[in-house]
Amino acid sequence: MVSPKSLFFLTTLFFLLAIYVLPQDVQGQAKIVSPNYIIQMPNFNSGAGIPSSSGYKLDTTIGQTAPGLYSSSGYRVRSGFQYIHSIIPFSFSMSNFLINFGTLIPGTPVTLTSTLTVSAGGAGGYKVTTRESGSLQTSGGQSIPDATCDAGTCTESAAGVWSQATTYGFGYNMSGQDIPSDFINSTYFRHFANAGLSQTDQIVMINANVGRSRTATITYKVNISGVQGSGRYQNKILFTAIPSF
């Protein structure tokens, strides 16, 4: 038999616990974040998962508020956890990621290419940005300048014509799908945004729509003068592919 004093203690404990628990807001659709994970649209469902057999694979959501496909003229809404699995998963790849210009001859431009391929199924499309770690340099600090093109007008964000063998530097051209409009043809070049000069990463591919295997070619070009110091020049080019949902 519980003494009156003990009964009072248990009743008080229950009362305090009720005060603590009951007023809490239920945030079933909030984003849950920790240093190790992000859970988007968490919810308690009576059933969910991807059951499968040799003949089928089914993505299910049971218990979520208003799942399903809703459409009208001008829009389409896919509501439900199963629609998080994009019909076109995001992917980015690049060919020939190690660029070696070999031995350079003054006044003889050298070009090499890489192919960028992007697939994006998010509602906001995607973009790819790039920058260089710094100018092409030797370990002793000699550098090949970033190209400014024939008229001295091309920058990290605006392309210009570079066709003369007496114009020196390091730069790039873009051709193919989803490229910036200032790359009018194969003679138009920019130099890379230079991280060493705190220049902002620049877009080299962008599309606001979904797409599969969107492809563009980047052409790297270098040309040196007769007074360029000998040595082994190198730098790093960073490409960042960003999906939008």
- Return the CATH number of 91-243, one of 1.20.144, 1.20.120, 2.60.40, 1.10.10: 2.60.40
**Is there a contact between 169 and 194 (Cβ–Cβ < 8 Å)?**
no
pTM for this model (two decimals): 0.70
What pLDDT tens digit does each residue of the chain (245 aa) get? 545 444 444 444 444 444 444 455 554 556 778 887 777 666 666 666 677 888 887 767 676 677 778 888 888 887 766 666 667 889 999 999 899 999 999 999 999 999 999 999 887 899 999 999 999 999 999 999 999 999 999 999 999 999 999 999 999 999 999 999 999 999 999 999 999 999 999 999 999 988 999 999 999 999 999 999 999 999 999 999 999 87
pLDDT at residue number 205:
98
Q: Which has the closest alpha carbon to 41: 26, 49, 55, 29?
A: 29
Distance in angstroms (rounded) separating the CA atoms of residues 180 and 159: 9
Cα–Cα distance measured from residue 113 to residue 107, given in angstroms and rounded to the nearest whole number: 20
What is the residue-wise DSSP string for 35-49? SS-EE-S----SEEE
Amino acid 11: pLDDT? 41
> From CA 50, how far away is CA 46, in angstroms rounded?
14
Res 34: pLDDT: 83
The per-residue pLDDT for 48 is 64
Written as one letter, the residue type at 76 is R
Give dist(CA 189, CA 137) in Å, integer: 20
What's the confidence (pLDDT) of residue 93? Answer: 96
Q: What confidence score (pLDDT) does residue 44 get?
A: 61
| Residue-level pLDDT at 25 | 53
What was the pLDDT predicted at 245?
A: 73
> How far, in Å, are 3, 17, 19, 21, 236 from residue 12 at the CA level?
14, 9, 11, 14, 67
Neighbour-count burial of 51, counting CB atoms closer than 10 A to its CB (0-12 exposed, 13-18 middle, 19+ buried): exposed
pLDDT number for residue 30: 61
Residue extent(s) of CATH 2.60.40 domains in the chain: 91-243
What's the confidence (pLDDT) of residue 22? 47
Cα within 13 Å of Cα(99), Cβ side? 24
Contact 180, 206 (CB under 8 A): yes
